[in-house]
Amino acid sequence: MSNLIPSYKPNTIRFKSALVFARDPLAFIQKGFTACGDTFNLKLFRDLVFTRDPAFFKHVLVQNNKKYVKGKAFAELSKVLGKGLLTSEGDFWLRQRRLIQPVFHRERLQGLVRTMSEITADFLNELEEVRGKSAIDIDEKMMGLTADIALKTLFSTITNENKTKIYQQINRSQEHIITHIRKPFLKPWMAINGANRRFRRDLAYFDGMIFDIIEQRRASGESPDDLLQMLLDCTDEETGGQMNDAQVRDEVITMFSAGHDTSANGLNWLLLELSKRPEIVAKIREESTLFDDVPTFEQLSQLTYTRQVVEEGLRLFPPAWAVAREAVDDDEIEGYTIKKGTIVFMPLFELHRNPKLWDNPLAFDSEHFSAENVKNRSKFSYLPFGAGPRICIGQQFALMEMVLVLAPLLKRFTFEADPTHEPNMFPLITLKPTNGIKMFVK
């Protein structure tokens, strides 16, 4: 006999609950877990089950993943990302995943790390200009740095003008889609006020620019060491087939969108947290004596303590803060019935702070990721890149990037939070600061 999932009943009418959730999802979800335990259900616009129970993550993402799809939110994202790995499903997704997987093998990343290192070295020199001056918005700086890294590792020959245009177009398009997802009641107004028309115009301009870049690369006969070339060269071992221009476009945009935003936000919250932890910064600096300005590909693997700190940052502040799946059939998890059409909403933010899984869950403690603690912990307690067949394909790239940027930043500079500025954390697709993160660079 199935157990009933505890129901969370906020003291508001359903429509108002949806507004409260949209306004502050983290606080809303935390209240639900406090009231109901690790799993609860709630009807907003849809039937939802919220959970921070690792058994749900294991069941939905790994053991029974074929019974769950990404759902309507990802259908909205596909308006920008097309049928890239993040949004596609079924046999098409599986073929693309197998085709692209070799691109992210560790040995293939060596050339990309050289590009990361060059851009980071230039960034360090630029940051010298604000040392000892007024506070800067570190969010803006990290977004710019990771966008540069993403675009130059994707398109090594891109012009600065096109780089700026791509960055602006994608950000504007994503904001439009997020509004559609979070506030569906605004859709009729967006159709009237010109927002949808501007979105279509932006997307057409953007697509034209990307297809031009792809066409020029195919015609050039050159093979630079970047992700675009790796995607163009991908060949299906069984059929000998390669991706057409539309498929390459979708994967390129997915890699940029999913890559730079997550790394930037991970570094944002980490730098803010480390501004309060001089003892951790001192240990990172001690480890950083093994490189001069920026670590090489070979040196990255030696920065073991810095990697622990990055992992702890991703635990407390997971950029991709939640995973959601829609049940395509009736199912049962941990004795609970999950009806077809139910959205299972799994906030990694809460999984990573679950007091049943972590000692001192709210404390920043790099020892959470010591070799001994990692060995003794269930892997479903910590999932910053997801799990199962759809685990983030770029996780090694992201971890390398964060270590490569963080170590030289802290070796060369001290960051102090501006006491007059209080950053607000808000989860959109990623865990973003809504009003920036103001810091002094010393």
Instruction: CATH number of the domain at 357, please.
Output: 1.10.630.10
Averaged over 95-121, what is the pLDDT? 89
Is residue 213 one of the residues assigned to a domain? yes
Residue 334's pLDDT is 92
Is residue 2 one of the residues assigned to a domain? no
Is residue 5 one of the residues assigned to a domain? no
DSSP states of 328-360 as a string? Answer: SS-EEETTEEE-TT-EEEEEHHHHTT-TTT-SS
**E strands within 5-67?**
39-43, 47-51
CB distance 30 to 5 below 8 Å: no
Is residue 3 one of the residues assigned to a domain? no
CB distance 32 to 358 below 8 Å: no
pLDDT in tens, 365-403: 999 999 999 999 988 999 999 999 999 999 999 999 999
Is residue 8 one of the residues assigned to a domain? no
- Tokens (6 digits) for 9: 């009943």
Given a cut of 80, is residue 13 above it in pLDDT?
Answer: no
With H, G, I as helix, E, B as strand and everything else as coil, classify residue 238.
coil
pLDDT in tens, 337-374: 999 999 999 999 999 999 999 999 999 999 999 999 99
Q: Structure pTM?
A: 0.91
Is residue 409 one of the residues assigned to a domain? yes
- Tokens (6 digits) for 254: 């997915």
Rg, the chain, Cα only: 22
What gap in Å lies between CA 315 and CA 393, rounded to an integer?
A: 19
pLDDT in tens, 311-335: 999 999 999 999 999 999 999 999 9
Range of the domain at 116: 14-441
If one counts the domains in the chain, the total is: 1
- Tokens (6 digits) for 194: 């010109």
Q: Kindly state the DSSP code that residue 59 receives in the 8-state scheme.
A: I
Is residue 7 one of the residues assigned to a domain? no
pLDDT in tens, 244-290: 999 999 998 888 887 788 999 999 999 999 999 999 999 999 999 99
Averaged over 164-169, what is the pLDDT? 77
- Helix segments in 101-137, DSSP class H: 110-127
Is residue 6 one of the residues assigned to a domain? no
pLDDT in tens, 218-235: 998 888 888 999 999 988
Q: List the beta bridge partners of residue 50.
A: 40, 345
Residue 238's pLDDT is 79
Name the average pLDDT for the chain: 90
What gap in Å lies between CA 124 and CA 140, rounded to an integer?
A: 15
